[in-house]
Structure 1
Amino acid sequence: MILPRTAALGRRGFLGVTAASLTALPLAGLVRPSLAPAGLTGDPFRLGVASGDPLPDGVVLWTRIAPDPVAEDGLGGVPDPRRPIGVRWEVSTDETFRGRSVVRRGVAVAEADLAHSVHVEVDRLQPDRVYWYRFRVGAHISPVGRTRTAPAQDAVLGSMTFAFMSCQAYNNGYFTALRHLAADDLDVAFHLGDYIYEGGSVNGVDGRVNRPLHELVTLSDYRIRYGLYKSDPDLQAAHASVAFVSVPDNHDIPFDHTVDPDPPAALERRAAAYQAYYENLPLRRTSLPSGPAMQLFRRVRYGRLADFHVLDTQQYASDQALDETQNLEIRDDPDRTLLGDRQEQWLLEGMTSSTAAWNVLAQQSKVAETDDTVGPGEDFGGGGNWDGYDHSRETLFDAVHERGIDNMVVVSGDAHANMAADLKPRSKDPDSPVVGAEFLGTSISTGGDGQDLGAAGRRRLEENPHVRFYNNRRGYQRCVVTPEVLRTDYLVLPSVTTPDAPVVTRAVGYVENGRPGVAQVEDGTVV
């Protein structure tokens, strides 16, 4: 949860940062940043705080100066939007920030070109330790955030806990699941895409209406939409409670070339979407976009317990293949790829050389093949997930099997449904080996309340014996990892269209180390 604002600065608090601290900072446009910008009225920290991409010795700290998050120009209501702002920050071992508990402090420049966001890459911290952080501009102090560094690279861990989530459409319902997530004691959280939705809408649940009302096209449009989403108190609570590792999906960034008749305009729009994504997420400088491109696949190591391989399944993918005509043959085209050659090689080499107990792939879309036509005939739906790239998936899974990788677990988003499944190169071949397990997670709010198991879910379970569990409620997923077992709790809500819904455990899935596939699924509370 969001920790209360702390009025006391402490003897060695923010006042210990002097203007001399600015001499080492890159000044945007050679204009000296202001530590107390004139005309700044109201709360400049209305978008909250966040941390992300933890390392053993540090973490990224984020905030964005925006006293009016949905200002029509997209600049957040900053009084002089061309001028950089100096933002003081500090990190403490104690949430009171008193005395010697403050271990790191400095001044970051909130640059006008990046919508006055800051991404502080703090270093020289201790591994596997909880820290608190906050920011200050003038007399304004931000909410206090909590974060945790990753363990040392060779640390032997008895357990760790992480969460994953995706798909939070503001106008479809409340982000109550994120409030429950904020109350969990997590080491790290993975957001697997559709952080925002780009469509226009004049209708929404309980007045949760999109801003702007039209579909997003320009950088200003995207900045306003992020300002709306990040004003949500439940989303802010989640960010303030745990470090996020984030990767975008197709609603965050417009990827599909086949639906845009104007390629130059499409690339310009994509560049705007990437920039706004970077401005509003706690990402490292290595992910700073370059026009319509952004480095997003990366690896996060948690000692000898787990290597997390964070994938980008959008930027390097061949154009989507499946549509209403169900062009199934193109799925087997060997020239089509989802990950791209460089990323696929990086992934295989990383899993092969890993000395961790688990290889966890954190990525955007459903991996397991699912035929939704019972009996003769096949229906694999749209082409945006791995079902549209069957040859690419089969090649990857064959390589995993040939290399003897027996600890692969994939966590996924995008589908607005919960699913646990065995992963096989050829799902309908009884002799095809099981090479891993997938835990697919539902949406935070997209699609409204959902239901426990509709007709589509029943068809999927009947036609696909490798699918072990299916559910269509909203919520998030919590994973507890030990050297022997990886457990996934499917946490769901009865409603997202009404506030303050409780959360219950709908099912629990288990994978045993060295035995690829889902070992067991336990049913829980049906809502």
Structure 2
Amino acid sequence: MTIITRRGLIGGAIAGGGLLAAPAILRAQQIFAAYPFRLGIAAGDPAPDGFVIWTRLAPDPLAPHGGMPMRPVAVDWAVATDERMKTVVQKGSAFARPELAHSVHVEVTGLEPGRPYFYRFTIGTEKSMVGRAMTVPPLGATLDKLRFAVCGCQDYEAGLYTAYAHMADEEVDFVYHYGDYIYENRQDPVAFDHNDRLKPKIRQHIGQMCYSLDDYRQRYAQYKLDPDLQLAHTRAAWFTTIDDHEVRDNWAGLSDATDTPPEIFALRRAAAFQAFYEHMPVRASALPAAGGIQIYRRQRYGDLLDAHFLDTRQFRSKQVCKDGFKPICPEIDRPDLEVMGRTEEAWLAGNLRQKAARWNLIAQQVMMMPLDRRTSPGGTAMRNFDSWGGYNAPRERVLKSWKGYGNIVVLTGDEHQNFAGDLRTENGTGEAVATEFVLTSISSGGTGSDVREGDAVIRANNPFLKWTNDRRGYGVVEVTPETWTTTFRVVDQVDGPGGVVSTAQVATVEHGKQGVALARA
């Protein structure tokens, strides 16, 4: 047995005694055969008065149930104003329940806005590492600067998480993770890059393709054992969202790429949603229910930034034109296609009409720019039909609703590359209404290169695209009342230790003006 308590040691010799029934005594006497906080800690969904703190007890993370007994276990937590945890301002106890893989989600409240705090979990003499999180400034407060990081797409098999080690050194107010926290595919020692060239797998998944709740739990555990990822989680609170690989590659609504019956795919999706909740520092509002998971949400940072975190998977229509990178087909113009769905569209439009802040952030998963994906001259125009480029009607509807704002910036992932460009109506030929920055992957796609093959053709066919890059890394965004600056940070390798970080590009947008200014030609 992994966990031994005083009750387990002396059996029923004094069963019914008041001493053993006292929860505080049981907590103090728990002794683990292995360290119970091996999956680290995290904070998320910050607000002006607090944030969520998370951990999962797993002394044997890859074993069934993480090596835990099938009963609730009490966990103490504390929040302090100092890293040494000397000045504790909030504390309490929560149960790690087997129904949720012995994860703990504490929604801390009663804190001061706009300042850093530190947090830790304990069980008896066992202590987690200490994490740091910033509360959000008061609504409407005047801010002169905000700084945050953007990351995602972290295929464990494709490379090391060196980028996270460097991101942990960035001083940021929060982190936005755009999705693909795990990859659901089976262990596969042979892989090919986007040019069908053999590429090595740096490390291997444990287990087969994820279908059941146990499968997804084990996959999250394997990813969360990475020390660089754990370190990055301790440095700031994260806003996390879902893209495709948290469930199945290129899923949409109740459809997957293999035409699984919707009622069967719904079971797999429900398991994936539960595992996501169990392993992310999200609020109870994101606890999955029969209809799905509530993952789109909003957070304002004073008078400077209104952040809208979208869900572009759960309410999406099935991809047309056979999905993937394909020549354009007539179905792309179908008026009934959806990406967010009308309810979420109305929610976003209502938020924007409030004009609550100087800048609007649209934080979402798949590229909005309708790129022609041809990498050689001639032929028929191509699109990525798993992006907004495969959904002309909803993209045009949303972009036209953004006319006149002059303060909308879209942050995207999924592509495993860096892109900077203008969002224009009329399939990229009309009025510029926003700017889109696509941030590269942490590891997915492997080490990469400065320029991907065919880049010159793509640039020529897409004049709204201003810059591209094919390295791994993350983004750092600095927002002031007058400018939005995205710094593309890249590492030179992920297929071995010691990757060096550098700045590939600095892109700036002026408030009230459309168009990206690049620091480097």
Structure-2-length-normalised TM-score: 0.90
C-alpha displacement at 1:154, in angstroms? 1.2
**Cα pair distance change 1:171/1:37, threshold 3 Å:** farther
Q: In structure 2, give the amino acid aligned to 1:380.
A: M
What is aligned with 1:84? 72
| 1:194 maps onto 2:180 in alignment | yes
**Native 8 Å contact 1:296 1:312 kept in 2:** yes
**Native 8 Å contact 1:483 1:513 kept in 2:** yes
C-alpha displacement at 1:39, in angstroms? 6.1
Q: In structure 2, give the amino acid aligned to 1:210.
A: H
C-alpha displacement at 1:34, in angstroms? 5.2
**Native 8 Å contact 1:174 1:497 kept in 2:** yes
C-alpha displacement at 1:425, in angstroms? 1.1
What is aligned with 1:50? 42
Distance 2:503 2:229 in 1: 21
C-alpha displacement at 1:38, in angstroms? 5.2
What is aligned with 1:126? 112
SS at match of 1:435: strand
What is aligned with 1:522? 519
Distance 1:283 1:159 in 2: 25
Distance 2:227 2:301 in 1: 29
**Native 8 Å contact 2:160 2:202 kept in 1:** no
What is aligned with 2:99? 113
| 1:381 maps onto 2:403 in alignment | no
Distance 1:37 1:191 in 2: 38
SS at match of 2:382: coil
SS at match of 1:238: helix
More displaced stretch, 33-42 vs 405-414: 33-42
C-alpha displacement at 1:50, in angstroms? 0.3
Of 443, 464, 487 in structure 2, the residue corresponding to residue 445 of structure 1 is 443
**Native 8 Å contact 2:326 2:382 kept in 1:** no
Q: In structure 2, give the amino acid aligned to 1:48.
A: G
**Cα pair distance change 1:262/1:231, threshold 3 Å:** same
What is aligned with 2:204? 209
Distance 2:433 2:160 in 1: 37
**Native 8 Å contact 2:370 2:428 kept in 1:** no
**Cα pair distance change 1:327/1:433, threshold 3 Å:** closer
C-alpha displacement at 1:292, in angstroms? 5.9
Distance 1:35 1:515 in 2: 58
What is aligned with 2:12? none
Distance 1:414 1:206 in 2: 19
**Cα pair distance change 1:292/1:472, threshold 3 Å:** farther
Of 81, 95, 98 in structure 2, the residue corresponding to residue 93 of structure 1 is 81
More displaced stretch, 434-443 vs 419-428: 419-428
What is aligned with 2:54? 62
Distance 1:37 1:447 in 2: 47
C-alpha displacement at 1:33, in angstroms? 11
Q: How does 1:136-147 map to 2 (within 5 A)?
A: 136-147=122-133
SS at match of 1:479: strand
What is aligned with 1:410? 410
Q: In structure 1, give the amino acid aligned to 2:388.
A: W
SS at match of 2:395: helix
CA offset digits 1:3-32 (Å, max 9, x no partner)? xxxxxxxxxxxxxxxx99x99xxxxxxx99
| 1:372 maps onto 2:373 in alignment | yes
Which ranges of structure 2 fall in alignment gaps of 5 or more residues?
1-17, 191-199
What is aligned with 2:483? 485
What is aligned with 1:241? 235
Q: In structure 2, give the amino acid aligned to 1:366.
A: M
C-alpha displacement at 1:375, in angstroms? 5.8
C-alpha displacement at 1:253, in angstroms? 1.9
Distance 1:32 1:272 in 2: 34
SS at match of 2:515: strand
Distance 1:313 1:487 in 2: 25
Structure-1-length-normalised TM-score: 0.89
Identity %: 40
Distance 1:155 1:345 in 2: 27
**Native 8 Å contact 1:416 1:472 kept in 2:** yes
What is aligned with 2:462? 464
Q: How does 1:343-358 map to 2 (within 5 A)?
A: 343-358=344-359
What is aligned with 2:164? 178
Distance 1:236 1:354 in 2: 36
What is aligned with 1:8? none
C-alpha displacement at 1:110, in angstroms? 0.8
What is aligned with 2:509? 511
Distance 1:473 1:226 in 2: 25
SS at match of 1:171: coil
SS at match of 1:421: strand
Q: In structure 2, give the amino acid aligned to 1:77.
A: G
What is aligned with 2:494? 496
More displaced stretch, 380-389 vs 165-174: 380-389
C-alpha displacement at 1:206, in angstroms? 7.6
Q: In structure 2, give the amino acid aligned to 1:446.
A: S
CA offset digits 1:355-411 (Å, max 9, x no partner)? 21100100001111101236655433331110111111011111111xx21100000
What is aligned with 2:8? none
SS at match of 2:27: coil
**Cα pair distance change 1:421/1:38, threshold 3 Å:** same
CA offset digits 1:419-442 (Å, max 9, x no partner)? 00000112443xx21000000011
C-alpha displacement at 1:351, in angstroms? 1.1
Distance 1:118 1:292 in 2: 23
CA offset digits 1:259-302 (Å, max 9, x no partner)? 23332321111000000000000000000001461001100111
| 1:231 maps onto 2:232 in alignment | no
**Native 8 Å contact 2:45 2:239 kept in 1:** yes
What is aligned with 1:328? 329
CA offset digits 1:91-121 (Å, max 9, x no partner)? 00011112xx100000011111000001100
CA offset digits 1:488-507 (Å, max 9, x no partner)? 00001110001121100000
**Native 8 Å contact 1:66 1:77 kept in 2:** yes
What is aligned with 1:419? 419
**Native 8 Å contact 1:37 1:85 kept in 2:** no
Distance 2:146 2:326 in 1: 45
Q: RMSD value over aligned CA atoms? A: 2.1
**Cα pair distance change 1:59/1:33, threshold 3 Å:** farther
Distance 2:188 2:28 in 1: 38
Q: How does 1:207-356 map to 2 (within 5 A)?
A: 208-212=203-207, 214-254=208-248, 255-256=251-252, 257-258=255-256, 259-291=258-290, 293-323=292-322, 326=327, 328-356=329-357
Of 118, 131, 137 in structure 2, the residue corresponding to residue 151 of structure 1 is 137
Q: In structure 2, give the amino acid aligned to 1:86.
A: A
**Native 8 Å contact 2:411 2:437 kept in 1:** yes
**Native 8 Å contact 1:409 1:437 kept in 2:** yes
**Cα pair distance change 1:261/1:358, threshold 3 Å:** same
More displaced stretch, 289-298 vs 441-450: 289-298
SS at match of 1:319: coil
